[in-house]
Amino acid sequence: MPQVISRRVLSADAADGVLNGPDGLLSPRTDIVLERAEGGAVFTAIEGPVEHYRRTVTAEPLDGDQVEITEKFDYRLAIPVWWVLFTIPYGRALRRGRDWPWWHPPDRFTARQARVVGLLATLAVVAGFLGTLLGQTITFAADEFEVGESAQGLALSLVRLSILITLAVAALGDRKGRRRTLLYAAAGSILAAAATSLVPNLATLATVQAVSRGLSHALALLIFVFALEEVPAGSRAFVASMLALAAGLGSGLAVGSVPFADLSASGWRFSFVAALAGLPLLAFVARRLPESQRFETARRQPRTRRPNQYRFRLTLLAVTSFAVLVFSSPASQLQNEFLNEQRDFSATKIAVFTLLTTWTAGPGMLIAGKLADLRGRRVIASVGVSGGALFILWHFTQAGWPMWVLIAVGALLTSSTVPSLGVYRAEMFGTMRRAESNGLLGVAGVSGSMVGLAAGGYMIETWGYGTAFSVLIAGPILVAILVLLYYPETTRRSLEELNPEDQ
């Protein structure tokens, strides 16, 4: 159990102020931990992301009118798996005083909230890995199967039909519960990904991956919905960014597996075998994850009619999903082909390029998540979606170091839309329609992906990458305008306030 001790020697008068003044050490804390006094200068936690917490204050007189004040914290964080990243920062925040640390979400978390988000972030790593595998390996699978860019684009488009699986699983999440549905989706996606390592041709690969991707997208969707139903109203964007970072870690692991393709013509298959490592993580989460409290409450209430605003909100977000993915899907899915064919990158160099140019997404999401919760979402989302697309377009027209810099800036700006724009998908719908509505938005997004990949693949073969993405960028520009004109500001508003049918 971590222990943090802070000692200071002060004059008697100064010590009295430190102990008994406003927010003195002998008063309960109300910052990242909400304390209660137990008597004898001992304090325990009423609320905070801790399973155990005890703060003890002692004052010992010294020679020369001096007093030694000792403040001791004994605590254990309620954050599974990820506690190793937070123990030191949390201990420093306790020792340094009662100011809110910069890295902390805007709200104080309960032990349950911290536990649930930690478990869901663990599953997000798995979902990120599974969702990235195909895009990173299809170039090398196509080489083994001796097919060209058009066949790749068609296969990627057909895999998008897996959204029908995602929609069905999401609907089950609204009827059977978040927990059970996402656990089954995770298990199915992992096994289907592992089965992909055995496929004999591109058509079979697309079929098996349609199952894996459909389930992995449902998993990611339910993780997102579950988490935002659990966390405080003022920290939803921040938590969305944390989940995206966890998913990004999974994506990075998938990218890191790409050099397997350099081992032999069939080396890309080892990346899919590696998906089996997700099974122990799934078992760990399954033993500890409770059901969503909001879902438990909502399922006991009679199902109401769809509110008048539902259709407008669904249409607005569907247009947004379609328009964003018309550009971003071909930009990401055909990136490796661009690097391999146009810039003569090997599999290893592609992996290095991807890792070195996407690291900016992490800081971008964290900063945007905090700002979106504190200052509002709309301006951040509008600038991120349009500015990120412009830089990504620009990088397709360059070679050498400018290409590396431009895509890194594009990743930084685009990542800001994850917490600022993506959070609307959970905020704009009631509990009993939240997962299914997100599934429908997924259909719109996949339609955008299919259109973008098909049109993008054709325009690339006809006119080249620069011209193709100059046309496709109309999608993100449209989204930036829609966000500024029609999106409401949802910062620090409860889900029940945004969706009166849940009250």
pLDDT level of residue 378 (50, 70, 90 thresholds): very high
Domains 3-96 and 111-502 share a fold: no
Distance (Å, whole) CA 59 – CA 62: 10
Name the residue ranges covered by the structural domains of the chain: 3-96, 111-502
Please tell me the predicted confidence (pLDDT) of residue 46.
Answer: 95
Region 339-353: mean pLDDT is 86
Asked whether the whole model's pTM tops 0.85, one would answer: yes
Region 250-258: mean pLDDT is 87
pLDDT level of residue 502 (50, 70, 90 thresholds): confident
- Rounded percentage of the chain residues whose pLDDT exceeds 90: 67
Sheet harboring 34-37: ordered strands across? 3-11, 66-77, 50-62, 42-47, 34-37
CATH superfamily of 3-96: START domain (3.30.530.20)
Tell me the per-residue pLDDT of 51-97, one tens digit each, with 9 for 90 and over.
999 999 999 988 778 999 999 999 999 999 999 999 999 999 998 87
Region 241-256: mean pLDDT is 90
Region 255-275: mean pLDDT is 87
Helix (H, G, I), strand (E, B) or coil at 277: helix
pLDDT value at 150 more than 80: no
Region 373-396: mean pLDDT is 95
pLDDT level of residue 136 (50, 70, 90 thresholds): confident
pLDDT value at 325 more than 80: yes
User: Are the CB atoms for 133 and 193 separated by under 8 Å?
Assistant: yes
Tell me the per-residue pLDDT of 28-62, one tens digit each, with 9 for 90 and over.
999 999 999 998 899 999 999 999 999 999 999 88
Please tell me the predicted confidence (pLDDT) of residue 1.
Answer: 66
End-to-end Cα, the chain, rounded Å: 41
pLDDT level of residue 155 (50, 70, 90 thresholds): confident
Tell me the per-residue pLDDT of 443-457, one tens digit each, with 9 for 90 and over.
898 889 889 988 998
User: Are the CB atoms for 32 and 48 separated by under 8 Å?
Assistant: yes
Burial grade of 7 (CB within 10 A; 0-12, 13-18, 19 or more): exposed
User: Are the CB atoms for 269 and 197 separated by under 8 Å?
Assistant: yes
Region 201-227: mean pLDDT is 93
Region 181-206: mean pLDDT is 94
Q: In this structure, which topology does domain 111-502 adopt according to CATH?
A: Growth Hormone; Chain: A; (1.20.1250)
Please tell me the predicted confidence (pLDDT) of residue 156.
Answer: 73
Helix (H, G, I), strand (E, B) or coil at 232: coil
Contacts of 483 (CB under 8 A, 6+ apart): 320, 378, 381, 382, 385, 421
Distance (Å, whole) CA 420 – CA 414: 10
